Amino acid sequence: MRKLKSWFGAGRAKPAAPDLPVDLLSDAFVADPAPTWAWLRENAPLAQVKSGGYVMTRAADIKAAFTDSRLGNAPSRFSMLAEKNRDRYVAADVAANIPPFLDKPRHVDMRKPLSAAFFDTFDGAEAWIGPLAEAYLARLAGQGPQDIITGFGRPFATQAMARFVGLDHDPAAIARATGALFKLFAPITDRAGFDDVNAGLEATRHYIAGAVASRHATPGPDLISHLIARGGLTDIEISDHALLVLADGIENIEAAIAQVLIRLASDPDHLAALRAGEGDIAATVMEVLRLETPAQTIPRVVREAHERDGVQLTEGTPIFLALGSANRDPDLHPDPDRFDPTRDHSGVLMFGQGRHRCIGAPLGQMLVTQGARALVDRPFTLVSDPTRITYHKRLGHRWPVEVLARID
Q: What is the pLDDT of residues 49-94, one digit of tens each?
A: 999 999 999 999 999 999 999 999 988 877 889 899 999 999 999 9
pLDDT value for 10 = 45
pLDDT of 12 higher than 60: no
AA identity, residue 239 = S
State pLDDT tens for residues 309-351: 999 999 999 999 999 999 999 999 999 999 999 999 999 998 8
Count the neighbouring beta carbons within 10 Å of the beta carbon of residue 378.
14
Q: Do 165 and 403 meet the contact criterion of CB atoms below 8 Å apart?
A: no
* 231-289 pLDDT tens trace: 999 999 999 999 999 988 799 999 999 999 999 999 999 999 999 999 999 999 999 99
- SS3 labels along the chain: CCCCHHHHHCCCCCCCCCCCCECCCCHHHHHCCHHHHHHHHHHCCEEEECCCCEEECCHHHHHHHCCCCCEECCCCCCCCCCHHHCCCCHHHHHHCCCHHHCCCCHHHHHHHHHHHHHHHHHCCCHHHHHHHHHHHHHCCCCCCEEEHHHHHHHHHHHHHHHHHHCCCCCHHHHHHHHHHHHHCCCCCCCHHHHHHHHHHHHHHHHHHHHHHHHHHHCCCCCHHHHHHHHCCCCHHHHHHHHHHHHHHCCHHHHHHHHHHHHHHHHCHHHHHHHHCCCCCHHHHHHHHHHHCCCECEEEEEECCCEEECCEEECCCCEEEEEHHHHCCCCCCCCCCCCCCCCCCCCCCCCCCCHHHCCCCHHHHHHHHHHHHHHHHCCCEEECCCCCCCCECCCCCECCECCCEEEEC
Instruction: Please give the pLDDT value at position 2.
Output: 47
Provide the pLDDT for residue 4: 40
With beta carbons less than 8 A apart as the criterion, state whether 293 and 398 touch: yes
Q: CA separation (Å) from 310 to 45, 46, 71, 272? A: 10, 9, 17, 50
CA distance 123 to 132: 16
Reported pTM: 0.93
CATH of domain 5-407: 1.10.630.10
Q: What is the pLDDT of residue 154?
A: 97
Residue 47 φ then ψ, to 5°: -110, 145
Domain ranges in the chain are: 5-407
Q: What is the pLDDT of residue 13?
A: 57
Residue 3 pLDDT greater than 70, yes or no: no
| Tens digit of each residue's pLDDT (9 = 90 or more) over 155-211 | 999 999 999 999 999 999 999 999 888 888 877 777 888 999 999 999 999 999 999
